[in-house]
């Protein structure tokens, strides 16, 4: 499935890159890849990068994740303290937990990196790296020098993230969907063993919690999305929030297997 998706996405990117260059632009083509947590975004993006950077294309690809833009641990802690009642902001993941200003700065530099007259072309650019295993799974940004060093020229920029392309809802629509979800939850049975049930999820977070995250999401539209001309969505063959939870749990278990057990507990992933 991942190979097929990567093949389709690569062909789509090549088509848009040809149009981008035919229009006279020397800047990189910006491509956003979205999919649910644990759906294979990182794997698919890596395969796309490998395919396009190899012959016969041999393109210069810069690839990173929205996860790399998480706020440092101290700022994530401060964010949670400013919203003590909002469980959505108690850890990394939701809109509001990323350094949007840093993301905008990096993307702006990438936009001009191929211009020989710009400072961006001559100065080194580093995209930060975020280690999710630090602080018992809460994570922290690694020190400068441990990120991805980028130099010109750059043909394509790939940014993958679970909420890339999501737009905020107006308050009326947000309230309607929240109430609809609560009504649906009343008639929903529990999921499989170890899975959160819909009623529990809906009752854990208030409408005000969602409104706060909704406002933060608007900043992504203003500062991040404006750079992108191509958006790709990975849609799982079988839908449902319980499936996403299983994938997210597998993702955390895999990371802990590789790093000696550092990461979130199953309960922390669930919440």
Q: What is the pLDDT of residues 4-52, one digit of tens each?
A: 999 999 999 999 999 999 999 999 999 999 998 878 899 999 999 999 9
51: Cβ–Cβ under 8 A, 6 or more apart, which residues? 6, 7, 10, 57
Strand positions, DSSP E, the chain: 29-34, 61-65, 125-127, 130-131, 140-141, 148-150, 156-160, 230-233
- The two structure tokens encoding residue 271: 């919440």
User: What pLDDT score was predicted for residue 241?
Assistant: 47
Provide the pLDDT for residue 123. 79
**Residues 218, 200: Cα–Cα separation, whole Å:** 27
Give the phi and the psi of residue 249 in degrees, each rounded to 5. -65, -45
CB-based contact 251:124 (threshold 8 Å) = no
Compute the distance between CA of residue 197 and CA of residue 242 in angstroms, rounded to an integer.
8
Q: Which of 9, 56, 161 is CA-nearest to residue 100?
A: 161
Q: Would you list the DSSP string of 172-192?
A: HHHHHHHHHHHHHHHTPPP-S
Residue numbers in the chain where pLDDT is lower than 70: 1, 120-122, 187-198, 237-256, 258, 260-271
Predicted confidence at residue 187, as pLDDT, reads 65
Exposure string of 154-187, with b = 16+ CB inside 10 Å and e = fewer, is: bbbbbbbbbbbeeebbeeeebeeebeeeeeeeee
The whole-number pLDDT of residue 239 equals 55
pLDDT given at position 85: 96
Measure Cα distances from 181 to 142, 198, 200, 271 in Å: 38, 8, 11, 18
Angle between helices 2-22 and 41-53 (to 10 degrees): 50
CA distances from 264 to 129, 187, 220, 254 (A): 18, 31, 26, 11
Q: Which of 88, 75, 81, 79 is nearest to 130 (CA)?
A: 75
Q: Which residue has the tokens 């299983």?
A: 246
HSE at residue 73, side-chain half, CA atoms within 13 A, is: 14
How far apart CA 117 and CA 80 sit, in angstroms, is 43
């Amino acid at each position: 499935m991942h190979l097929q998706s990567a093949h389709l996405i690569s062909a789509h990117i090549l088509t848009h890159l040809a149009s981008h260059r035919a229009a006279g632009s020397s800047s990189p083509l910006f491509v956003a890849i979205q999919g649910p947590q644990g759906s294979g975004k990182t794997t698919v993006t890596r395969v796309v990068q490998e395919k396009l950077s190899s012959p016969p294309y041999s393109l210069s690809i810069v690839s990173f994740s929205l996860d790399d833009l998480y706020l440092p641990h101290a700022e994530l802690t401060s964010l949670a303290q400013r919203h003590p009642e909002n469980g959505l902001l108690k850890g990394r993941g939701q809109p509001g937990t990323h350094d949007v200003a840093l993301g905008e700065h990096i993307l702006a530099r990438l936009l001009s990196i191929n211009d020989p007259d710009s400072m961006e072309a001559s100065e080194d650019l580093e995209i930060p790296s975020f280690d999710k295993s630090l602080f018992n799974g809460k994570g922290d940004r690694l020190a400068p020098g441990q990120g991805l060093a980028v130099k010109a020229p750059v043909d394509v920029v790939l940014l993958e993230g679970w909420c890339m392309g999501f737009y905020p809802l107006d308050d009326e629509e947000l309230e309607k969907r929240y109430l609809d979800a609560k009504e649906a939850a009343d008639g929903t049975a529990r999921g499989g063993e170890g899975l959160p049930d819909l009623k529990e999820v809906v009752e854990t977070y208030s409408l005000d919690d969602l409104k706060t995250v909704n406002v933060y999401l608007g900043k992504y539209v203003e500062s991040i999305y404006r750079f992108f001309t191509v958006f790709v969505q990975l849609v799982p063959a079988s839908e449902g929030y319980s499936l996403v939870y299983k994938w997210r749990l597998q993702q955390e278990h895999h990371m802990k297997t590789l790093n000696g057990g550092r990461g979130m507990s199953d309960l922390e992933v669930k919440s």
